[in-house]
Amino acid sequence: MKSGLKRELLTATGAAAMLLLSQAAHATTIVATIIGAYDASSCSAGNGYCGTENGTTITNYATNGGTVADTPSLFILNPNSTSMTGASLVLTGYQDFAGGNSAASLSNTAPNAAVTDLALPAIAPHTVYQLIWNGGSGAGVTDTVVNGANLFAYDYDDTEGNAAGTGTTDSLGHTCGSGTGALTTICAYVGNFDAKFSAILNGGPIAANFSPDNTQDGGNVAGSFVGWEGLDADGLSETHADAHTATFPGTLAVITTGTKGAQPTPEPGTLALVGAALGALGVARRRRKRS
């Protein structure tokens, strides 16, 4: 074989190997879903929201308990035949009071963000697990305030009272007191937070990163704002997002295999192809040196 053609073949082999390696590094599998809701009573099989996941019927319901009215809930759907174990949820504020600013005015910065860590119980197979915001332990849930305010507090959106003043209107044109059942006397820029979920499924890590909007770490699968925390996109309380209608505003995230931010292990075949390409390149280099 001519040396020029050999070099082209080796280069093509190496390129193909690196392409496969890159694809393997980003390959993940969707294993579950997280739905966010505000003032939601339940999300069990047959109600149109949590009945089926990935073609598998969800037959069981579990919760940490507590009052569901006027507070956020997350619904973690496990359609798998094995439990999710070692589950945790890290909440981090990214604006307004939750970001370390004043609750009296709008601020989309986080100079001293509030952080709350939650340890969750095992989520059984074929189960909808409702995590109700209540700011304390319940049915295996523990919350640890790492910094700032407790982002897992009951009625989280009303925790700062009337800091911004009655009738505040934010940059999006939302006026405090305009939501269904909302009050004009509890107006504050409480601030939204994002979340990082992690657990173990079938011996391997699974994870999801999400937030109410689509600009923070992980965003959300809706691609637009989802007011599941009871606050609007500017972090203002008592607006349209504070809807006391027990509705489900949208799916927040898909849970996938792997650890967010880490590279999954490539397939053995991919590694073999990479090794073969690198070995062939080494042989070609030695031959060039001898000649």
Is 197 a member of any domain?
yes
pLDDT tens figures, 235-290: 999 998 887 766 666 788 999 999 874 333 344 443 444 344 445 445 455 555 55
The pLDDT, as a whole number, for residue 16 is: 47
What is the mean predicted confidence (pLDDT) over 217-236?
Answer: 88
Q: How far apart are CA 205 and CA 194, in angstroms?
A: 20
The pLDDT, as a whole number, for residue 216 is: 73
What is the mean predicted confidence (pLDDT) over 90-105?
Answer: 97
**From 49-58, 139-148, 232-241, the region with the lowest mean pLDDT:** 49-58
Is 282 a member of any domain?
no
Is 288 a member of any domain?
no
Provide the β-strand partners of residue 201: 204
Q: How far apart are CA 276 and CA 218, in angstroms?
A: 36
3-state SS assignment for residue 72? strand
DSSP-derived pairing of the beta strands 127-132 and 60-63? parallel
Q: How many domains does the chain have?
A: 1
Tell me, rounded to whole angstroms, the distance of Cα 130 from its chain centroid. 15
- Sorted by sequence, the CB contacts under 8 Å of residue 197 that are 6+ apart come out as 34, 76, 87, 88, 89, 207, 208, 209, 210, 253, 255
Q: How far apart are CA 191 and CA 216, in angstroms?
A: 13
Q: How far apart are CA 177 and CA 149, in angstroms?
A: 24
Q: How far apart are CA 273 and CA 18, in angstroms?
A: 9
Closest C-alpha to 197, from 58, 65, 45, 31: 31
pLDDT tens figures, 165-207: 999 999 989 999 887 767 889 999 999 999 999 999 999 999 9
φ, ψ of residue 74 to 5 degrees: the values are: -110, 140
Is 251 a member of any domain?
yes
Please state, rounded to an integer, the average pLDDT across all residues of the chain. 79
The pLDDT, as a whole number, for residue 111 is: 96
Q: How far apart are CA 43 and CA 51, in angstroms?
A: 8
Is 257 a member of any domain?
yes
Domain that holds residue 74: 28-261
- Selected residue with higher pLDDT from 139 and 137: 139
Q: Residue 47: which region, alpha, beta or left (left: phi > 0; alpha: psi -120 to 50)?
A: alpha
Asked if pLDDT for residue 144 goes beyond 90, the answer is yes
Cβ proximity of 72 and 156 under 8 Å: yes
Cβ proximity of 178 and 239 under 8 Å: yes
What is the mean predicted confidence (pLDDT) over 90-114?
Answer: 97
The pLDDT, as a whole number, for residue 81 is: 94
The pLDDT, as a whole number, for residue 58 is: 65
Is 290 a member of any domain?
no
Is 272 a member of any domain?
no
Q: The dihedral of CA 84, 219, 73, 150: what is its sign?
A: positive
Length of the chain: 291
- Sorted by sequence, the CB contacts under 8 Å of residue 35 that are 6+ apart come out as 43, 49, 50, 74, 75, 77, 248, 250, 251, 252
pTM beyond 0.85: the answer is no
Is 8 a member of any domain?
no
The pLDDT, as a whole number, for residue 98 is: 98
